[in-house]
Amino acid sequence: MSTFRLEIVTPERKVYEQDIDMVIVEGVEGQLGILPHHIPLLTALRIGPLRIKKDGTEEEVAVGGGFMEVRKDKVVILAETAELPEDIDIDRAEEARRRAERYLLHPDEHDQVRAEMALQRAINRIKVGSHRHG
């Protein structure tokens, strides 16, 4: 089976770069699976887990939105944030979730959209980070 190069880059650093078999992302219009030799594509990404299939295994990366560019032999994810499961502090993510939920209870006092986005990011981090524990 052929492979392609996947790069996941944030404004701070390159999070991931390996040859893989398939990547599954949360696009703005739904889930997308990219295999080798996919047609060129550019799409915006939602906050959600990015699933990587390689050598019969699957791993996830918590992506906080961004863009995906599919090239001839490479997929580049330009993410606002991206964290590998081992880099996620579950306790900190749980606290961020609780804080965002509190903000959503008082919409007059807080920016509703920012609180909803913070809640989505926290839930995504908890989901992806908890997979390494069990």
pLDDT digits (tens, 9 = 90+) for 61-119: 999 999 999 998 999 999 999 999 898 888 998 898 888 888 788 766 567 778 888 88
pTM of the model: 0.80
Classify each residue of 9-27 as buried b or exposed e, where b means 16 or more C-beta atoms within 10 Å of its C-beta: bbeeeebbeeebbbbbbbb
Q: Which helix (H) or strand (E) holds 109?
A: none
Average predicted confidence (pLDDT) for the chain: 89
Please list, in sequence order, all residues whose beta carbon lies within 8 angstroms of the beta carbon of residue 126, skipping any fewer than 6 positions away: 88, 90, 93, 94, 97
Indicate if the pLDDT at residue 133 is higher than 50. Answer: no
Beta-ladder partners of 47: 64
Of 46, 47, 60, which Cα lies nearest the Cα of 6? 60
121 and 77 within one domain: no
CA pseudo-torsion sign 85, 88, 90, 93:
negative
74 and 18 within one domain: yes
Indicate if the pLDDT at residue 31 is higher than 80. Answer: yes
Q: What's the pLDDT score for residue 105? A: 82
Q: How many domains does the chain have?
A: 2
Q: What's the pLDDT score for residue 134? A: 46
100 and 128 within one domain: yes
Higher pLDDT, 122 or 19: 19
- Structural domain boundaries, residue 48: 4-83
